[in-house]
C-alpha cells in the first residue's frame, strides 16, 4: 500500500519533476552530476552550477550546488535570528520539499509562493526545517511547530 501511495505521489509531482529533469540535464553540460538517492526520494544533480548555494527541489529532482546533500546548513529561523538551531542535513530539508511536492503536485509552486516564497515567513520552509531537525513534521499544518 505504501509503495502505491508513493508511486501516486511521484506521478502527481511529475510536471515539476520534468522541469527539474530539464534543468538538471542542462546543468550536466556545465558539470552537474546526476545520481538517484533512495533516501531523499529524488534524482539529485550535484555540483549544479547556478544559484547562490545550497539546493532547490523541483518535484522528485534536487538541484544541489555542492558535492552531495550531506552538507550541514542553517535553518531559516536560525538565519533570521529567531532562535538557535543546530545545523541540519541539507538533504533532509530538501526531502521534506519532495514530500510536499508529492502531496500538492502541480499546485506546490503556486501555493509555495502564495505562502511567502523563499523566506522564514513561508510555512513550507519552516516545516522542511522542522523535518530536518526532528525527522517528522514535513507538512506545514500538521500540528504545533517545534523549534
Low-confidence ranges of the chain (pLDDT < 50): 146-147
Task: Measure the CA–CA gap between 25 and 122, rounded to whole angstroms.
Answer: 29
Q: Can you name the residues that pair with 44 across neighbouring β-strands?
A: 35, 62
Structural contact between residues 24 and 48, judged by C-beta atoms closer than 8 angstroms:
yes
What is the pLDDT at residue 126? 95
What is the pLDDT at residue 143? 63
Q: Is the pTM of this model over 0.75?
A: yes
Amino acid at each position: 500500500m505504501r509503495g502505491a501511495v508513493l508511486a501516486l505521489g511521484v506521478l502527481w509531482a511529475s510536471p515539476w519533476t520534468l522541469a527539474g529533469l530539464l534543468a538538471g540535464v542542462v546543468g550536466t553540460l556545465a558539470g552537474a552530476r546526476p545520481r538517484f538517492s533512495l533516501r531523499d526520494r529524488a534524482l539529485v544533480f550535484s555540483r549544479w552550477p547556478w544559484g547562490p548555494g545550497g539546493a532547490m527541489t523541483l518535484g522528485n529532482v534536487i538541484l544541489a550546488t555542492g558535492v552531495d546533500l550531506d552538507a550541514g546548513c542553517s535553518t531559516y529561523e536560525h538565519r533570521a535570528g529567531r532562535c538557535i538551531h543546530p545545523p541540519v542535513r541539507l538533504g533532509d530539508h530538501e526531502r521534506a520539499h519532495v514530500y510536499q511536492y508529492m502531496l500538492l503536485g502541480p499546485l506546490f509552486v503556486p501555493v509555495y509562493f502564495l505562502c511567502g516564497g523563499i523566506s522564514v515567513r513561508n510555512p513550507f520552509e519552516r516545516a522542511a526545517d522542522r523535518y530536518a531537525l526532528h525527522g517528522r513534521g514535513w507538512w506545514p499544518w500538521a500540528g504545533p511547530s517545534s523549534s
